[in-house]
């Protein structure tokens, strides 16, 4: 497989295989309000031929009060099957910028037991800039059976994080921008305090990529080292709502670090409670 990294795929590889049986292409674009971009409208206007849209605001746990909560395996399986995806497919996930929201969906499929799943280097914006094929034609979907093999060890809960903060053996890598980590910049969601979990390390997700592509392994290691994250020890990744934390997870897995979990509730859960400790500053 012509990969540009352990869990990323290059555009040449994907373009050469468009329309191949057993290949599922997933547009996982999602944006913050500040981006002023409508992912569904952009998908309907133009997408990679054969791609299906994965709505990250819809494929969530029913009734959850938190954004983007990972659904239970049966719920995820229904969504994935309705998209025509099988757990045996080779799945390529992309977003607009290249490394923003796609890693979250990559992580979701991994947690549900799919290992032939990759993130498209450079994303759709780069795909279009390189004049690669796009279409506005609606992708025909044949419903499929998706069998989830859920790995609960890759997901951290609120109670898990309380234990980590109280002196557990895991490190916390926070993907939010530095200003939000220190509490100098306000959180985008109302009622959420600024700052970070005691002991957490600041590793902004934006520092792990260049031009929509994951940094080379040597540079990734340097970023973790500069952040004070020891790659020989377990890591829990966190962010605002569980989306960009997956960028750190992708970087960890690319470096062969498998002792990691993602805190699904992330700062929206931790920072909105009154019974969780919060620190400010660096």
Positions marked catalytic: 239
Q: What's the rounded Cα separation, in Å, for the pair 99 and 3?
A: 16
The position carrying tokens 């032939």 is 116
Tokens representing 188?
């985008």
Nearest to 172 by CA among 28, 270, 254: 270
Using only C-alpha atoms, the chain has a radius of gyration, in whole angstroms, of: 18
Task: Name the phi and psi angles at 146, rounded to 5.
Answer: -115, 120
Nearest to 159 by CA among 19, 276, 77, 32: 276
């Amino acid at each position: 497989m012509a990969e540009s990294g352990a869990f990323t795929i290059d555009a040449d590889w994907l373009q050469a295989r468009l329309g191949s049986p057993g290949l599922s292409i997933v547009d996982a674009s999602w944006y913050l309000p500040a981006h002023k971009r409508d992912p569904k409208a952009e998908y309907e206007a133009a997408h990679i031929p054969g791609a299906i849209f994965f709505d990250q605001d819809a494929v969530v746990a029913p009734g959850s009060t938190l954004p983007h909560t990972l659904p239970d395996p049966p719920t995820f399986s229904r969504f994935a099957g309705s998209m025509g995806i099988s757990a045996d497919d080779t799945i390529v996930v992309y977003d607009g910028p290249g490394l923003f929201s796609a890693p979250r969906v990559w992580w979701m499929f991994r947690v549900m037991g799919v290992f032939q799943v990759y993130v498209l280097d450079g994303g759709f914006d780069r795909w279009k800039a390189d004049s690669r094929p796009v279409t506005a034609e609606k992708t025909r979907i044949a419903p499929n059976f998706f069998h989830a093999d859920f790995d609960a060890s890759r997901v951290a809960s609120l109670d898990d994080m309380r234990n980590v903060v109280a002196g557990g053996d895991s490190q916390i890598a926070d993907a939010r921008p530095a200003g939000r980590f220190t509490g100098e910049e306000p959180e985008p969601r109302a009622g959420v305090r600024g700052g970070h979990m005691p002991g957490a390390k600041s590793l902004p997700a934006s520092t792990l990529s260049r031009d929509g592509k994951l940094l080379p392994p040597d540079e990734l290691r340097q970023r973790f080292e500069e952040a004070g994250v020891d790659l020989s020890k377990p890591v829990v990744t966190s962010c605002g709502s569980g989306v960009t934390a997956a960028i750190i997870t992708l970087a960890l897995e690319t470096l062969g670090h498998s002792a990691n979990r993602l805190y699904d509730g992330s700062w929206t859960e931790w920072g909105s409670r009154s019974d969780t400790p919060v620190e400010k500053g660096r």
